[in-house]
């Protein structure tokens, strides 16, 4: 019998639920929780255990409706019942918390941090979960935007009616990720379903500490373009209606929906949590709202499942979990020899989901040999020309960020691209770096190539969680997922400095696992490195130094539309045999000038070998080691602060590998450990100047 839900005179037909299967999945989830709590945690076979009791029925009902091949979802640590409803294998579900081989991550991630690639697209894909609360929202805004892009821009009718679902607890609504996603998805009326599982607590903190009045959903009542559906997630009669209504609304194309269902958390936050912070009367009330006996009673009263059939399902679920647990125990431990695999893409092993490579995209021909043509261009024009060509040749490239659209960027790198390629492909975003990078994750997982701009280097800090999660995605899912993207980040000093717009701090991106980092010093290199990044299968930070964007020294002829520079390949600007000078970014110009000045001072002797690294992750270790072995001396010059700057890494590698070839100590010349000053004279006093570099080289040569 079909149930009809009426809302504002519109009729929504609820799909027929397979109650026997839903009951089985509910009992399966309970059996897993029980066995983990009773056997596996005490035996120290499971360390992180998060029971889903109380949340489980609504999750399973919702998951059973995500049947579109382009549906996708994000969950969190209490979402295992939902993943089971998508088709997760029982043995995989119990092996992962035991950190056994296989599973979500081959033992690399917490067992409750799930993923479900579903490469055959039989229903929804589950994005790799993140350990941080709130990080699950903006990636689904990106996925929802990608649905619209595939459907309307790429004219792929198979995306019609697909949706994105983000799941979270009530306290996750306090995070910047939630608010950013809400703004993105409501502003653009994206097919995004927000499902809030409201158990009233964030571990031990009640909702009264999260929002005025303790009810964030009520406080959203005036939000435009947002349908709100609110109710009881434990009621087997009303919960299916509310869930079906929410899904139908988003599939209809009318915009996002926030579905808030109140559910009891029948156990502590984790197995170790005794819930002493809850009043006993509240705990008793929560136990009385357990959806499992309510479902059993409803199915018996409705003559859908008898008590005997329920008992048989319960026995079957427990037996199958016990068998799966024993099989999981017999799995081998993850192979330590594979520990460092899949930090980056491997040529012959493509990830299952995410990026252009997973869909077999073929790029135009390319070469590492430049074909200089036309007048010398500044770096800004070279970047714009490269973006323009890649937008023309690859329909899956999207360029976006704050002021990137009609204005053309505050630096001018995207000037005219919005008019040429349209609003769907070059567009402005809301002022939220978390949202800019988060939506990029969803786009990348949808098979697009996002090119987000962070307006200034320091402004990347609000996006730090999304950037970190993106970098380790491939590693933590054992190459099941990856999110290649190119994040353009202007930074460094310009004509003046300041602590906010002139930050360099590139070493942070070297330390971020899974990210590549390019720092071109001139227009020619900017073209080759940017095009390589846009066609690569890894996430890349493309650092556009502000002092070089319109710098006359950095101007070069355009090297051609097929020119690429493979990462990790340094460029030797000057040959020498007495000292190696290693540099990158804005320091390259100063180092080259200093080396030429030194040659004039020393009767044109070619003493100094100047190496521009061009990329810091990966960096051309071989080129530097070869040069220093020849010269016996090394000076490393960079704009970033002295302490823990990337020069320290280079120095450590040299000391480790060519110590006995050195004729003098390895030296670094950098900014002191201060922010970039605004006063011009202070700035020049802080930065290594050409004369400073020449003096340092003279001192080394005289040793």
> Quick one: 615 and 548 in the same domain?
no
Lowest mean pLDDT: which of 10-19, 113-122, 657-666?
10-19
Helix, strand, coil distribution of the chain in percent, nearest 5: 40, 15, 45
- 146 and 138 in contact (C-beta within 8 Å)? no
- CA dist 702 and 680 (Å) reads 32
- 161 and 68 in contact (C-beta within 8 Å)? yes
Residue 565 lies in a domain: no
Residue 13 has what pLDDT?
63
What's the first-to-final CA gap in the chain, in angstroms?
A: 91
2-40 pLDDT, tens digit each: 333 334 434 456 678 999 999 999 999 999 999 999 999
> Quick one: 660 and 534 in the same domain?
no
| CA 147 to each of CA 144, 160, 222, 250, 480: distance values in angstroms, whole numbers, following the listed order | 5, 8, 27, 12, 21
> Quick one: 580 and 520 in the same domain?
no
> Quick one: 550 and 652 in the same domain?
no
- CA dist 670 and 107 (Å) reads 41
> Quick one: 578 and 553 in the same domain?
no
Residue 5 has what pLDDT?
39
Residue 574 has what pLDDT?
97
| CA 394 to each of CA 364, 387, 397, 425, 499: distance values in angstroms, whole numbers, following the listed order | 9, 10, 6, 11, 37
Residue 6 has what pLDDT?
37
Mutual angle of helices 138-148 and 176-187, in 10-degree steps: 20
| Structure tokens given for 114 | 């799930």
- CA dist 572 and 630 (Å) reads 14
Residue 679 lies in a domain: yes
323-375 pLDDT, tens digit each: 999 999 999 999 999 999 999 999 999 999 999 999 999 999 999 999 999 99
- CA dist 140 and 352 (Å) reads 18
> Quick one: 582 and 547 in the same domain?
no
- CA dist 51 and 33 (Å) reads 6
DSSP count for the chain of H helices, then E strands: 23, 24
Residue 348 lies in a domain: no
> Quick one: 499 and 395 in the same domain?
yes
Q: Which whole number is the average pLDDT over 115-132?
A: 93
Residue 345 lies in a domain: no
| Structure tokens given for 317 | 């679920």
> Quick one: 371 and 480 in the same domain?
yes
> Quick one: 322 and 413 in the same domain?
no
501 is catalytic: yes
Instruction: Residue 530: give the domain boundaries.
Output: 357-558
Lowest mean pLDDT: which of 216-220, 557-561, 675-679?
216-220
| Structure tokens given for 185 | 């998805």
Residue 129 pLDDT level (bands cut at 50, 70, 90): very high
Question: Which of 298, 332, 366 is the endpoint of a domain?
Answer: 332
Residue 402 lies in a domain: yes
| Structure tokens given for 456 | 């200034």
Residue 616 lies in a domain: yes
Residue 696 has pLDDT above 50, yes or no: yes
Residue 1 pLDDT level (bands cut at 50, 70, 90): very low
Residue 139 has pLDDT above 60, yes or no: yes
> Quick one: 103 and 225 in the same domain?
yes
Lowest mean pLDDT: which of 180-184, 278-282, 464-468?
278-282
Residue 225 has what pLDDT?
96
What is the 8-class DSSP label of residue 618? S
| CA 319 to each of CA 90, 324, 357: distance values in angstroms, whole numbers, following the listed order | 11, 9, 41
> Quick one: 378 and 314 in the same domain?
no
Q: Give the CATH number of the domain where residue 278 resides.
A: 3.40.50.970
Residue 165 has pLDDT above 90, yes or no: yes
Residue 678 has pLDDT above 60, yes or no: yes
Which of 249, 501, 545, 638 is catalytic? The answer is: 501
Question: Which of 534, 558, 582 is the endpoint of a domain?
Answer: 558
Q: Strand 72-74's sheet: what is its strand order? A: 125-126, 72-74, 164-169, 192-198, 257-262, 227-232
- CA dist 535 and 480 (Å) reads 20
| Structure tokens given for 376 | 């010398």
Residue 12 has what pLDDT?
55
What's phi and psi for 475, nearest 5 deg? -65, -45
Q: Which whole number is the average pLDDT over 230-256?
A: 97
Q: Which whole number is the average pLDDT over 174-197?
A: 97
Strand segments, DSSP code E, in 163-308 are: 164-169, 192-198, 201-202, 205-206, 227-232, 257-262
> Quick one: 542 and 581 in the same domain?
no
606-649 pLDDT, tens digit each: 899 999 999 999 999 999 999 999 999 999 999 999 999 999 99
Mutual angle of helices 56-63 and 291-301, in 10-degree steps: 60
- CA dist 203 and 270 (Å) reads 9
Residue 81 pLDDT level (bands cut at 50, 70, 90): very high
* SS3 state of residue 66: coil
Residue 647 lies in a domain: yes
Greater model confidence, 311 or 213: 311
Residue 269 has what pLDDT?
84
- CA dist 182 and 140 (Å) reads 10
Domain count across the chain: 3
Q: Which whole number is the average pLDDT over 104-113?
A: 92
Residue 566 lies in a domain: no
* DSSP-assigned states of every residue in 660-702: GG-SS--EEEEE-SSPPPSSHHHHHHHSPPHHHHHHHHHHHHT
Question: Which of 332, 365, 391 is the endpoint of a domain?
Answer: 332
Residue 9 has what pLDDT?
35
Residue 204 pLDDT level (bands cut at 50, 70, 90): confident
Residue 14 has what pLDDT?
64
């Amino acid at each position: 019998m079909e149930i009809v839900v009426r809302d504002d005179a519109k009729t929504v037909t609820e799909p027929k639920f397979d109650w026997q299967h839903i009951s089985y999945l509910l009992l399966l989830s309970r059996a897993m929780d029980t066995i983990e709590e009773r056997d596996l945690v005490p035996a120290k076979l499971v360390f992180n255990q998060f029971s889903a009791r109380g949340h489980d029925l609504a999750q399973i009902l919702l998951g059973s409706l995500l049947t579109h091949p382009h549906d996708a979802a994000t969950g969190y640590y209490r979402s295992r019942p939902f993943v089971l409803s998508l088709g997760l294998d029982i043995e995989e579900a119990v092996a992962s918390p035991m950190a056994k081989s296989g599973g979500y991550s081959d033992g690399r991630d917490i067992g409750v941090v799930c993923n479900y690639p579903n490469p055959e697209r039989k229903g929804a894909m589950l994005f790799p979960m993140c350990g941080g609360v709130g990080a699950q929202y903006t990636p689904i805004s990106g996925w929802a935007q990608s649905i619209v892009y595939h459907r309307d821009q790429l004219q792929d009718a198979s995306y019609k009616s697909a949706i994105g679902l983000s799941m979270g607890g009530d306290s996750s609504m306090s995070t910047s990720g939630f608010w950013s996603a809400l703004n993105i998805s409501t502003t653009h009326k994206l097919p995004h379903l927000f499902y809030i599982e409201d158990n009233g607590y964030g571990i031990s903190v009640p909702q009264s500490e999260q929002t005025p009045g303790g009810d964030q959903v009520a406080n959203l009542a005036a939000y435009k373009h947002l349908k709100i559906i609110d109710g009881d997630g434990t009621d087997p009669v009303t919960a299916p209606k509310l869930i079906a209504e929410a899904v139908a609304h988003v599939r209809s194309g009318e915009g996002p929906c926030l579905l808030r269902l109140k559910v009891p958390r029948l156990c502590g936050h984790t197995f170790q949590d005794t819930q002493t912070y809850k009043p006993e009367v509240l705990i008793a009330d929560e136990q009385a709202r357990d959806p499992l006996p309510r479902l059993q009673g409803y199915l018996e009263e409705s003559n859908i499942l008898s008590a005997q059939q329920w008992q048989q399902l319960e026995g079957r679920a427990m037996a199958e979990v016990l068998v799966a647990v024993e099989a999981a125990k017999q799995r081998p431990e993850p192979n330590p020899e594979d520990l460092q695999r899949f930090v980056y893409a491997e040529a012959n092993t493509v990830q299952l989901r995410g990026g252009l490579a997973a869909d077999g995209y073929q790029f135009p021909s390319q070469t590492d040999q430049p074909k200089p043509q036309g007048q010398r261009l500044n770096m800004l024009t070279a970047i714009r020309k490269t973006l323009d060509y890649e937008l023309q040749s690859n329909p899956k490239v999207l360029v976006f960020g704050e002021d990137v659209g009609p204005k053309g960027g505050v630096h001018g790198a995207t000037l005219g691209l919005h008019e040429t390629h349209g609003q769907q492909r070059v567009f402005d975003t809301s002022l939220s770096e978390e949202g800019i990078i988060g939506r990029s994750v969803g786009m990348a997982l949808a098979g697009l190539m996002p090119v987000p701009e962070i307006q200034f280097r320091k402004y990347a800090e609000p996006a730090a969680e999304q950037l970190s999660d993106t970098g380790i995605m491939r590693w933590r899912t054992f190459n099941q997922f990856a999110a290649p993207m190119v994040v353009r980040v202007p930074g460094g000093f310009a004509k003046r400095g300041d602590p906010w717009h002139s930050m360099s701090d590139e070493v942070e991106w070297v330390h971020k696992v899974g990210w590549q980092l390019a720092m071109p010093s001139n227009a020619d290199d900017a073209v080759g490195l940017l095009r390589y990044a846009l066609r690569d299968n890894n996430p890349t930070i493309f650092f556009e130094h502000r002092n070089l964007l319109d710098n006359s020294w950095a101007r070069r002829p355009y090297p051609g539309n097929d020119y690429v520079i493979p990462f990790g390949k340094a460029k030797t600007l000057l040959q020498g045999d007495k000292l190696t000078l290693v540099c990158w970014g804005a320091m390259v110009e100063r180092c080259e000038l200093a080396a030429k000045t030194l040659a004039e001072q020393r009767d044109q002797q070619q003493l100094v070998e100047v190496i521009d690294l061009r990329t810091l992750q990966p960096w051309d270790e071989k080129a530097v080691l070869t040069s220093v072995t020849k010269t016996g001396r090394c000076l490393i010059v960079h704009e970033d602060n002295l302490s823990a700057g990337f020069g320290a890494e280079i120095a450590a590698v040299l000391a480790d590998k060519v110590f006995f070839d050195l004729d003098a100590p390895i030296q670094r010349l950098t900014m002191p450990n201060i922010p970039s000053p605004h006063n011009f004279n202070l700035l020049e006093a802080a930065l290594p100047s050409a004369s400073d570099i020449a003096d340092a080289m003279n001192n080394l040569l005289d040793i």
